[in-house]
Amino acid sequence: MVKHILKRLVLLLPTILGVVTLVFFMIALAPGDPARVMLGERANAAQIAQLRAELGLDEPLIKQYGLYLSRVVRFDLGKSITSGQQVAEEIGKLFPATIELAFMAMIFASVLGILLGVTSAIKRNTWVDYTTMGGALFGVSMPVFWLGLVLIMIFSVWLDLLPTGGRMNIRYYFTPITNFYVIDGLILLFKEGTAKYLVSAIQHLILPTIALGTIPLAIIARTTRSSMLEVLQQDYIKTARSAGIREKRVIYRYALRNALLPVITVIGIQFGLLLSGAILTETVFSWPGIGKWLYVAIGARDYPSVQGGIIFISVFFVLINLVVDILYSVVNPKIRLQ
């Protein structure tokens, strides 16, 4: 098992190297001079030449690539053009916001998706099944940002129940501790005895969670249903039933366990995709995470930030896929024993 994991980790290196290489050359060959972008329209030729020399832009491309690689290996992603901050530091500060949202969306999608999928499979070809699967089909056909806006319109504008965006009531004097606001809220609940931070953090999470979680919810429900239907036809389920085991136990104890195997893979893949899907959701809900930050960086042609952000998200995505694969072989003896 350990050998298997190590092998997979080693195989990962060329992929990550490929990602870094592709990102570097895509940005390096992009039209426009980064030095000019950094200095603005009014800069003169001498200033631009000086900055180009400082940034190493006059060096041959191969040398620049080598330098970039040697820095990335040390987790140095360069400085942001617009803020002057270290890109790696900025990512570190923003990432908790994105992870918090993505994590919530995934819990929402997984719990509800598995529940709906199982129900649908048990009540196959009834109105429950048709409604759920019809709803799932609508879910995958919807633009995420539109769903977000409609949710804001209904729950914030018309019903005035939930905030339209942000992570915390701006009227509260709030200094983040961990940058995971739900955790911060819990800490403050115990330390200061007030629940208002926790409540506000959760209130701000509800709508973005639904918007971001709807597509994975639909996909998880569909996968669970079809996987469950397949398992329910297997001989060992018939055996269990004919042995007189209660139907509930047959379904949840014997069928669901095996039916969940493909669902785990889907959940993992969707979690990786969420991080990039967060660009749209975070923009709609003014959620100060990595997606919105990347969107702003792209607009400002802040190349070090764009490069760093993309490399970070892609490597994270690849790592999640690896974890899912390993998890899959842990829970599935058929693969584990190979």
Partner 1 sequence: METDIHEEIIIADPTPLQETWFHLKKNKAAMVGLGIITIFVLMAIFAPLISPYDPNAQVIDDRKTPMFTDGYILGTDDLGRDMLSRLIYGARISMTIGVVSVGISLVFGILIGVTSAYFGGVYDKIVMRLIDIMLAFPYILLTIVIVSLLGPSLLNAMIAIGISQIPRYARVVRASVLAEKEADYVLAERALGARDTELMFLTILPNCLSPTIVQATLGVGEAILSSAGLSFLGLGAQPPTPEWGLMIASSKEFITNAWWIVTLPGIAILLAVLGFNLFGDGLRDILDPKMRN
Given the rule CB under 8 A, which residues bind partner 1? 14-16, 18-19, 22-23, 26-27, 30-31, 137-138, 140-147, 149-150, 152-153, 157, 223, 226-227, 262, 272-273, 275-277, 279-280, 283-284, 295, 298-299, 306, 310, 313-314, 317-318
Nearest distance from C-beta of residue 149 to partner 1, angstroms: 5
- Rank residues 22 and 177 by Cβ distance to partner 1 and give the closer one: 22
Using CA atoms, how far residue 193 sits from 142, 176, 185, 205, 234, in Å, is 42, 17, 10, 22, 54
Write the single-letter amino acid at 320: I
- Looking at the DSSP bridge assignments, the partners of residue 79 are 86
Name the minimum Å distance from CB 168 to partner 1. 22
Place of tokens 């911060």: 184
**Residue 201 in contact with residue 221, Cβ under 8 Å?**
no
Q: How far apart are CA 193 and CA 155, in angstroms?
A: 29
| Residue placing its CB nearer to partner 1 in the complex, 44 or 141 | 141
Q: Least distance to partner 1 from the beta carbon of 203, Å?
A: 19
Nearer to partner 1, 118 or 279 (CB): 279
Q: Cβ neighbours of residue 213 under 8 Å, at least 6 residues apart?
A: 104, 105, 106, 108, 109
Smallest distance, partner 1 to C-beta of residue 289, A:
14
Q: Is 193 left (phi over 0), alpha (psi -120 to 50) or beta?
A: left
Which of these, 285, 334, 13, lies nearest to 168 by C-alpha position? 285
Q: Please report how close the Cβ of residue 175 comes to partner 1 at its closest, in angstroms.
A: 31
Residue nearer to partner 1 on the CB measure, 31 or 84: 31
**Smaller CB distance to partner 1: residue 24 or 197?**
24
Q: How far is the CB of 177 from partner 1 (least distance, A)?
A: 30
Q: Nearer to partner 1 by C-beta: 29 or 62? A: 29
